[in-house]
C-alpha cells in the first residue's frame, strides 16, 4: 500500500505548506492543536497582566498605546484559535481544557506586574522574545499557522518598540524611575528566557516538531538569538542584565549566560507560579460570564441561516 502520507512527507521535504484539507498524520494534527491552542491561550491570558495597568497608565498617550496593544493580543488569540479550528479543534473544548489545567499557556504570564516599568518590560522583553519565536513560526510547515504568524509579527513589532520606548523614558528619567526600570529587568529577564521552553535535551516535543518543520529552530537556538539581540538593548538603556555569568565571546559571536532556574520553570508550568491561580480564575470567570453572549450569538446565527435558506 502506498504510504498514505507520501504526499505529506514530500510537501514537508520540499517546504510546501500543509493545508487544512491535506492528509496529515494524526500526531502532526495533534501536536499542532496542542501548540497553536496553547499559543492562543498565551495571547489571551497575556492580556491580564497588562490590562491590570490600563486604568493606571501614567499618561493619556501610554493609556492609548496600552489599550491598542491589549486589544491586539485579543485579536492574536482569535487568529490562533481559528488556526486550531482548521485542524478540527473545538474552541469550547480548548477553553475547558485550559480552565481544567489540561492545556498550558506561556509561563511568563504567571508573574505579577508590580509597577508601570513591568508593563514596559513586558512589551520590550516578552514581546521581544515572542517576536524571535514567532518570526521563525512564519515558516512553520502548517499553512494557516504560518499565515497567522505573518500578521501577528507585524503587530508584535509595534508592541516591542513601544515597550522599549517606555523603558527608555524611565531609564532616562529620575533616579527612582531608573531604579524602577532596573527592578523590572531584574524580575522579568530570566522568566523571558524561560519563554523559549526547556533546554533542547529536555524538550520532549522538539525532535518531532523539527522533523515536521513545525519548529525551524530549537528552543536553545531561539533563546540564544534573543539574548544576543537584547543584551545590547539593555546596555543602551544604561541598565544591567541580572546575570553575573553573562559574557560576550568574540570567538563565537554570542553571549554565554548563566544557568536558568529550571526548578522555577517546572513549578510555574505545573501551576505553582506567583499568579497561576489568579490567571485561571480570571479566565474561568470570563468564560462563565460570557456564556449568555455565546448562546445569544449562536441563536442569532441559526435564525440568520434559516432566513437565508428561505431566500435561496
Provide the binding-site residues for ligand 3HC, judged by CB under 6 A: 34-35, 38-39, 42-43, 46, 73, 76, 104, 106-107, 126-127, 130, 133, 156, 194-198, 203-206, 209, 219, 269
Helix/strand/coil percent split, the chain, to 5: 70, 5, 25
Contact between residue 142 and residue 29 where contact means Cβ atoms under 8 Å apart:
no
Please say which residue, 43 or 243, places its beta carbon nearer to ligand 3HC: 43
Please say which residue, 75 or 173, places its beta carbon nearer to ligand 3HC: 75
Q: Which residue has the cell 524602577?
A: 180
Smallest gap from Cβ 88 to ligand 3HC, in A, equals: 18
Single out the residue of 265, 110, 134, 296 nearest to residue 202, CA to CA. Answer: 265
> Which letter does DSSP use for residue 169 in this model?
H
Helix or strand run (H / E) with residue 220: helix 219-236
Please say which residue, 107 or 115, places its beta carbon nearer to ligand 3HC: 107
Please say which residue, 106 or 224, places its beta carbon nearer to ligand 3HC: 106
At residue 141, φ and ψ (nearest 5 deg) are: -70, -20
Smallest gap from Cβ 197 to ligand 3HC, in A, equals: 3
Single out the residue of 33, 21, 18 nearest to residue 90, CA to CA. Answer: 33
Single out the residue of 41, 47, 79, 80 nearest to residue 66, CA to CA. Answer: 47
Nine-digit cell string for 306: 434559516
52 burial level (CB within 10 Å; 0-12, 13-18, 19+): middle
Please say which residue, 207 or 235, places its beta carbon nearer to ligand 3HC: 207
Pairwise CA distance, residues 51 & 202, whole Å: 33
Please say which residue, 115 or 219, places its beta carbon nearer to ligand 3HC: 219
Amino acid at each position: 500500500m502506498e504510504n498514505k502520507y507520501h504526499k505529506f512527507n514530500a510537501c514537508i521535504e520540499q517546504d510546501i505548506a500543509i493545508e487544512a484539507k491535506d492528509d496529515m498524520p494524526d500526531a502532526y494534527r495533534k501536536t499542532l492543536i496542542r501548540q497553536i491552542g496553547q499559543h492562543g491561550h498565551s495571547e489571551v491570558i497575556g492580556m491580564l497582566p497588562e490590562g491590570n495597568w490600563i486604568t493606571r497608565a501614567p499618561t493619556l498617550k501610554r493609556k492609548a498605546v496600552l489599550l491598542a496593544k491589549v486589544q491586539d493580543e485579543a485579536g492574536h488569540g482569535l487568529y490562533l484559535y481559528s488556526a486550531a479550528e482548521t485542524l478540527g479543534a473545538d474552541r469550547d473544548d480548548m477553553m475547558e481544557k485550559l480552565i481544567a489545567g489540561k492545556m498550558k499557556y506561556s509561563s511568563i504570564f504567571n508573574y505579577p506586574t508590580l509597577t508601570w516599568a513591568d508593563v514596559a518590560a513586558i512589551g520590550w522583553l516578552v514581546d521581544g522574545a515572542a517576536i524571535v519565536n514567532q518570526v521563525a513560526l512564519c515558516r512553520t510547515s502548517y499553512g494557516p499557522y504560518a499565515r497567522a504568524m505573518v500578521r501577528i509579527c507585524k503587530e508584535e513589532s509595534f508592541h516591542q518598540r513601544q515597550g522599549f520606548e517606555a523603558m527608555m523614558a524611565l531609564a532616562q528619567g529620575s533616579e527612582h524611575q531608573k531604579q524602577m526600570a532596573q527592578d523590572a529587568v531584574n524580575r522579568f529577564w530570566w522568566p523571558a528566557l524561560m519563554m523559549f521552553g526547556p533546554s533542547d535535551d529536555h524538550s520532549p516535543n522538539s525532535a518531532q516538531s523539527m522533523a515536521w518543520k513545525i519548529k525551524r529552530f530549537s528552543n536553545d537556538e531561539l533563546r540564544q538569538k534573543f539574548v544576543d539581540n537584547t543584551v545590547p538593548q539593555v546596555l543602551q538603556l544604561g541598565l544591567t542584565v541580572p546575570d553575573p555569568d553573562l559574557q560576550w565571546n568574540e570567538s563565537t559571536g554570542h553571549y554565554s549566560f548563566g544557568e536558568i532556574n529550571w526548578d522555577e520553570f517546572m513549578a510555574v508550568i505545573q501551576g505553582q507560579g506567583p499568579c497561576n491561580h489568579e490567571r485561571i480564575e480570571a479566565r474561568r470567570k470570563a468564560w462563565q460570564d460570557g456564556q449568555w453572549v455565546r448562546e445569544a450569538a449562536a441563536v442569532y446565527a441559526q435564525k440568520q441561516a434559516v432566513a437565508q435558506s428561505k431566500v435561496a
